Amino acid sequence: MRSFNPPGPNASRSYGKPGHPVQRYRWAIIALACFGIVATVLTARAAERPVRIVVLGDSLSAGFGLAAQDALPAKLERALKQKGIAVTIENAGVSGDTAAGGLARLDWSVGEGTDAVILELGANDALRGADPKATRAALEAIITRLKGRRIAVLLAGMLAPRNFGADYVKAFDAIYPELAVAHDLILYPFILEGVAGDGTLNQSDGLHPTAAGVDVMVKAMLPQAEELIARVKGRTANTGG
């Protein structure tokens, strides 16, 4: 029987010879595979990166009269994490702040790398009987600048005190739903829903929620917060970064 002798090292044909089409094809396959692995890893890391949210607000989010861990941003972050959502929420609430005050400090309160903002301003405007047109203008300026930075917004609404008269109440209460529609925002209609007017959920001043009151606020706002995060993730997926 004739034996088969493999070609020697100097044979003219060799699949392992540098520059041979088959060898180049093999390296191309390896390169593509490596690229795919790297792309998968980068995509996974992007998915794991916590969504960074800033709550731009007044004393209702700052946590007036409460320990830091009982303030709205901290409790909302914990509630989202308990649902397995990777998120960090920064408290940029300033007691006594107005919509105009939030606009004035917007750039340093909402830093680079912010994915979304929960905009909770206007309570002090309403309590002081501020012109609804001025409040609307300040809130709209904040929204416009955030959208220009590609930051998603959840607008937390406020209602005017009912003893200010029907005309004022009508003008002020319309600010938030109208801005939400005009700018395609997620709206939580009333930040104090289920808490306002309940003595068991408010501090002695009757204006600021207790820790238990914040729990009620967080539970009620959770669906909108999840929608905000989904919007951020959807935007990131569509842009690839």
Of 186, 98, 111, nearest to 137 by C-alpha is 98
Give CA 140 to chain center in angstroms. Answer: 18
Return d(Cα 219, Cα 46) in angstroms, integer: 28
- Confidence class for position 39, pLDDT limits 50, 70, 90: very low
The CATH-assigned architecture of domain 50-239 is 3-Layer(aba) Sandwich (3.40)
For 7-30, what is each residue's pLDDT tens digit? 454 544 443 455 555 566 666 566
- The CA angle 96-201-64, to the nearest 5 degrees, is 25
For the stretch 78-135, pLDDT in tens is: 999 999 999 999 999 999 999 999 999 999 999 999 999 999 999 999 999 999 999 9
Q: Which residues are catalytic?
A: 59, 205, 208
Question: If you average pLDDT over every residue of the chain, what do you get?
Answer: 87
pTM exceeds cut of 0.85: no
Domain ranges of the chain: 14-48, 50-239
Give residue 235's pLDDT: 78
